[in-house]
Structure 1
């Protein structure tokens, strides 16, 4: 293929008279920097300034196509509920310009996958409908006893570890993984591989989690793309075998639904099927793991809140779960593309321009949350935006809440004391992330 024939991402329209505000000029490079997301204080400081000075901020960060940073809760909601006007299909997440160009050259389009995240209606609705029944509250409720059993199993494991562990690495990572793998029908012996592959995708910007450590010495900002493609290829190989197995011998699991799914009377496409497995397998546990650990860390850093939880674990668990999800906000952003000119606050967004929905900022919005920088296990109301809004609201949110509530009730009803035993660390990631290490000391 000649250079002139290579498909390229669309140029974002620029208004020649538009200039970045002082706040945006100083902050835009921070809110795309993975290392800033590993420092909650620095991230909060950056977003607080944008909310106050430039809540709909035009940003032109180095290595990225320009976008509008949307930092207020109300504005994120306003954009999210208008799925025809603000679409996912052109640009669903931050990606280096050079990486976007490589993907276009390889696929002729903007994405390596076709998951619910990258698709718009009608394709989005049709694919979502395939598995939606599995994740509805009434069907999630049917799994409550099994999930409580797993929560007990993992708290038993923690008790057997002798009073000290890394809560994130030893418990929070593996418990939601077991839940979603059982729903998918993935054998327990394959869980370590699934965890490794998931971390290589979502932790591709983190030196400890990336697949190819040699990339640390590479100056190319998107040098990790090939490594991510290797991980995706490994996912594809695994789930291609799963598909064949479920077509030959259907089971009562989500993999069977995907493998035998049809769209408009035709079997689901290979890329759509593989993408579906990956989004369920990866996002189905990684975000819940992050919030589970993030909530425990929030309590450990706020002894009065920890005491409330220990005093009444059953009464506090429901509100504590939503506070953990708000506090951690594991999905840091999604992007939308305007399909027509639109005025948001005092800014005119032009057709074709991108919007970065900054969920950590929305979840700290002073206009919505009282004392937003405090962790409160009994916060109510709690209008979290972590699950998104509108047609793309998280399919697994009811399952995530049930999982977290089960392990919080089990842990805090049994444990006598728990405290930090070292310095926690966070994943370097500007898309999906949370705690990486939470060393704890405890007594049962």
Structure 2
């Protein structure tokens, strides 16, 4: 990467790699500057390999379209410093990945592995689950009502409702859900002082995740997998446990990774967008009134809360050959960061992008990605959220914040971790 004329100034480059900046809002200031001044520049930060940074909607879309030119699996798919990258490669026999899920795969493997469970997450199958999901949503709303008009919406509702839905689909018993939630928070919130696994302050983060969190996931799902091979059921765990690719069983690494991606991404991002929706409504009483007056806007609310929250903040891609992109010369092996939360607030695409609008149309957000790696669970996520609001909004008369919400500290996946609200019912 010899191009220096498009080097991002240090004061913005350092924000891109700072987990705290994604919690306190500084990242959006940097994104706005980059979209205007350097929409596809190079970040050079001490301790990290240089990486290109895509902040405009059109560029993120174009990179996502070209899956053969820009790979997921050649280098780490999440931002990783040099020391962590070396540690992972040492642990994994040269691979830059602790896990090998759909996220870390490219063709020809990616479409084959995606096809194993895809039918489970498509609308025809989900329609058959709607009544079960609605029952779970009603219990979540009842739990909120039982708080007596004041609660932390994240901890009482948003964390647990999507978790229960995906664990039912996956086949994890309800009594194990707290363990799955804790492990997910320790994985995605590893750099957050409140969510990460507690350890000696000098403990190596990569070793802690690999030998702690990931190992705990593996140990749990190895037992579940063995059970489903012996006792098949109508759930996703049975599909994964008995899957074959090209006539051979998938490896233990790939099976365990598959369980992990379903068990973590299958609820964490939906939890964040659900909390983001109520946050937006509590801060914007005019939007809440608009929604109450016309509940047909619920699907629009769902899309807007996903855009506004954008739980998956970044993914990394790697150029597979020398090429030109956005007027810049890229070399084979160049690393690039796709900043979805920036693309979702691009002034060239969204009118008043910083505003929360329940009736935003069109809403061409990028929160689920695009191209071959379009989120497998997008239909389930939107369905879950729609059902929850269909159950909650008719009962909700007002809602307001009672304190300052907090976001988690993470460069990869983040969202609200506390949302204190006061509400009244009809």
TM-score, structure 2 as length reference: 0.97
| Conserved 8 A contact 2:6-2:38 | no
| Conserved 8 A contact 1:342-1:350 | yes
Mapped to 2, the partners of 1:312 and 1:241 lie a distance apart of 48
Residue number among 274, 278, 281 corresponding to 2:263 in the alignment:
281
C-alpha deviations, 1:212-261, integer Å up to 9, x for none? 2433xx3x8xx211221111111111111111110111000000000000
| 1:160 Cα deviation after fit | 0.9
Residue number among 55, 61, 71 corresponding to 1:87 in the alignment:
71
| Conserved 8 A contact 1:70-1:357 | yes
Mapped to 2, the partners of 1:345 and 1:353 lie a distance apart of 14
| Partner secondary structure for residue 214 of structure 1 | coil
| 1:20 Cα deviation after fit | 4.5
Mapped to 2, the partners of 1:376 and 1:115 lie a distance apart of 35
Q: Which residue of 2 aligns with 1:342?
A: 323
| Conserved 8 A contact 2:65-2:371 | yes
Residue number among 277, 280, 283 corresponding to 1:298 in the alignment:
280
1:57 aligns to 2:56 (yes or no)? no
Mapped to 1, the partners of 2:63 and 2:359 lie a distance apart of 29
Mapped to 2, the partners of 1:163 and 1:18 lie a distance apart of 56
1:135 aligns to 2:121 (yes or no)? yes
| 1:387 Cα deviation after fit | 0.3
Q: Which piece of structure 1 moves more, 69-78 or 342-351?
A: 342-351
Mapped to 2, the partners of 1:211 and 1:20 lie a distance apart of 38
Structure 1 unaligned segments of length 5 or more: list them.
1-13
Structure 2 unaligned segments of length 5 or more: list them.
none
Q: Which residue of 1 aligns with 2:21?
A: 36
C-alpha deviations, 1:343-389, integer Å up to 9, x for none? 22221111110110000000000010011010000101000100000
| Conserved 8 A contact 2:281-2:399 | no
Q: Which residue of 2 aligns with 1:409?
A: 390
| RMSD between superposed Cα atoms in Å | 1.1
Q: Which residue of 1 aligns with 2:59?
A: 75
C-alpha deviations, 1:134-190, integer Å up to 9, x for none? 011111121111111111110011111111110011100000000000001110000
1:206 aligns to 2:187 (yes or no)? no
Q: Which residue of 2 aligns with 1:125?
A: 111
Mapped to 2, the partners of 1:131 and 1:326 lie a distance apart of 26
1:270 aligns to 2:255 (yes or no)? no
Count of aligned residue pairs for this structure pair: 422
Mapped to 2, the partners of 1:408 and 1:45 lie a distance apart of 31
| 1:342 Cα deviation after fit | 2.1
TM-score, structure 1 as length reference: 0.93
Q: Which residue of 2 aligns with 1:194?
A: 180
| Conserved 8 A contact 1:320-1:377 | yes
1:242 aligns to 2:228 (yes or no)? no
| Partner secondary structure for residue 355 of structure 1 | strand
| Partner secondary structure for residue 29 of structure 1 | helix
1:378 aligns to 2:359 (yes or no)? yes
